[in-house]
Each structure stands twice: as C-alpha cells, then as structure tokens.
Amino acid sequence: MKKILNQRETIITDMLKGFVKAEKDHIAVSKENDRVLYRKEKQEGKVGIVIGGGSGHEPLFFGLLGKNLADAVAVGNVFAAPTPQTVLAAIHEANQGEGVICLFGNYAGDVLNFDLAKEMADTEGIAVVNLAVSDDIASAPKEYQVDRRGIAGDLFVIKEVAAAAAKGYSLERCQRIAQECNQRTYSIGVGIKSGTNPLNGKPSFILNDDEIEYGLGIHGEPGIEKMPIVSAKDLIKKMYLALDQEIKAYVEKEVIVCVNGLGSTTLMELYIITNELIDLLENKGFLVMDTVVGNFCTTQEMAGFSLTVQILTEELKELYQMEATSPHYFHKEGY
C-alpha cells in the first residue's frame, strides 16, 4: 500500500483534525464525541440535519456540512457505520427543538446504529426521523427499492432535504420530501480498479486489466458481474438502459444528473461519460435541468464512477435551486 498516513490507529482522528483546521471558522468538533463535527452557525427554528456513515468515502459525509446543507455529521471508522453514541451526539448538535432528520446510506450497519440512536434520542424527547438512502439500482430489483444500498444519490437527497429544513418546513414535511427524493433517485456504478482499505493495505477486489466490475457498491463489494472493458459510448449505453427501466414511466421529464468519480477516475473521463449520458437522456425526451460532475462519494483511490438521475417535481426543483455552500459542494444559480 502506498498512502501518506501516520499509524493506522489515528487515521480517522488525523483526518478530522486536518479538516477542522482547514474549516476552523465554520466547523467544530463536538465536545460530547470527537467523531462528531458540526456547523458553528446555527439557523434557529429549523429541523436539524444529521448525516453520517463510514469513513473512506470523502468528501462524503463531512464535506457536506454547510449553509443550507447538513448541521452535524456522525463519522464512523473506515467503511464502518458510526456507533449509536456517535450518532446520538450528532443529533444533540443538530437539534434546535424542531426535530432532527438523519440521512445515511442504506447499509445494515448504518440502519442498526442510526435506529439505536433514534431510540436513545426518543427517550430524551427529541423527535428523530431516519431515512436510509437507497438509490443503487444494481443492488436490488425495482420491487425491492427500499432494500437497495445508498451510493452517490446521497448527494441529491441531502441537498434537497437540507433545503427543505432551511426553508423552515416541519419535520413531517421534511420526512415526506426525503422519502420522495429517495424514491425518485436512481444510480448505477462501475468499478475499473479497486481502492485500498487504509487499515489493512489490501484491495477490496481484483480485476484483470481488461475487466470491469458492473454494478459495484461504494465499499468495493463485488458488483453484479465482471465484464470486459468497452468504449465509453457502449458502457454508458448499457448503464443508461438499466436506468431507463426505472425512469421511463415518470410523467415528469425534468431531471438532475450526477456523474460521480469513485476516487481516481480523471475529470477527463468523467466529462466523456457525461457527454454520452446527457445525449442518451435528451434523446429519450428528458430535460436535464442541472448536471454535477466530480468526486462526491468515493472509495479511496478506486477507479470507476457512478451515474445518478433524479426525476424532479416542482417542489424538488425549487429545493434543488436553493443556494447551498459547503467545503466540497455548492449550488448557485448562475455564475
């Protein structure tokens, strides 16, 4: 393994310390739990937004702490969900008396730990709603949408639910929006080369030079199938056809798109991919309202990418268009 680290026991704390030093005017470490970071500026009277998950996917999740974005983040070990105590501390930091909504990827570990934290918060009289993002269409068929795992679709769900909270919507309304956002968000990913787990120095999977892993998750879990590498055009077409099965039935045709790099795939490649995807969407009659391209949800230095499409409603569009600022993601209408 070739990574710039100190000893493995301090990987997470070293990283968090560096992040907080870089963002010292805006972000601080919770006194209750050093695996919790929160945004210093509080907007009173709003639903609190907690996000979180395992580490190793940076900039998710802490990179989305920001204005009209998340209020607090619960940070887990490498590829492992945060503990119930960590999530509870994040809930405390985000709580302004209007309730808290927790957004995280749909993995057994995250669901277990966030559910336990919610139970603990309930006993303290804090109203908490948990929403597990489940956008990865490769991980379960359409009939089992709620069983799907969460990948880069986290970004759109967090963006829009946080905007709803910033507008002062109630916890119930934020919850409905979160569910709707999640239902309308579809992703699929491809791995080209494994990332390395910094704790054990080992790749999470092995691929031959001419092979790709179709449908893999963001922890380096093997995907649906190994297939030979093909051109960007052919690959995006195959991925689009899978997405089209999910989105073609919608009456609404306006969409937002995220082309997410998994760590070491170049922006050059991501824009080549974007070019193909947008053509396919437009040829099918979709109107692409906005496209986000970059590394938002990564797996260390894994090479590969995911495509995310969200079908907008008028309400979601308005939420998406709200200005948002954070260390690793922003949204501004016009530049």
Positions marked active-site? 57, 219
User: What is the sign, positive or negative, of the torsion defined by CA atoms of 22, 27, 28, 34?
Assistant: negative
Q: How far is the CB of 228 from another protein (least distance, A)?
A: 18
Name residues contacting another protein, limited to 79-118 (CB under 8 A). 79-86, 107-109, 112-113, 116
**From 68, 134, 187, 197, residue interacting with another protein (rule: CB under 8 A):** 197
- Across the beta sheet with 287-294, the strand order is 225-228, 211-214, 185-193, 303-311, 254-261, 287-294
In 124-237 the beta strands, taken as DSSP E runs, fall at: 128-133, 185-193, 196-197, 202-203, 211-214, 225-228
If we measure between CA atoms, which residue out of 133, 176, 177 comes closest to residue 151?
133
Least distance (Å) from another protein to the CB of residue 215?
A: 8
From candidates 59, 63, 220, 261, binder to another protein by CB under 8 A: 220
Is residue 300 a contact residue for another protein (CB under 8 A)? no
- Single residue of 222, 244, 293, 327 touching another protein by CB under 8 A: 222
Q: How far is the CB of 82 from another protein (least distance, A)?
A: 5
Structure tokens at 304: 């590969």
65 pairs with which residues across the strands?
70
Using CA atoms, how far apart are residues 300 and 199, in angstroms rounded to an integer?
12
Please state the closest distance from residue 35 (CB atom) to another protein, in A: 9
**Contact set for another protein, span 122-161 (CB under 8 A):** 138-140, 147, 149
Supply 182's token pair. Answer: 């999640």
Task: Using the minimum distance from each CB to another protein, give the nearer residue, 114 or 286.
Answer: 114
| Contacting positions for another protein (CB under 8 A) | 54, 76-86, 107-109, 112-113, 116, 138-140, 147, 149, 197, 199-200, 202, 204-205, 217, 219-222
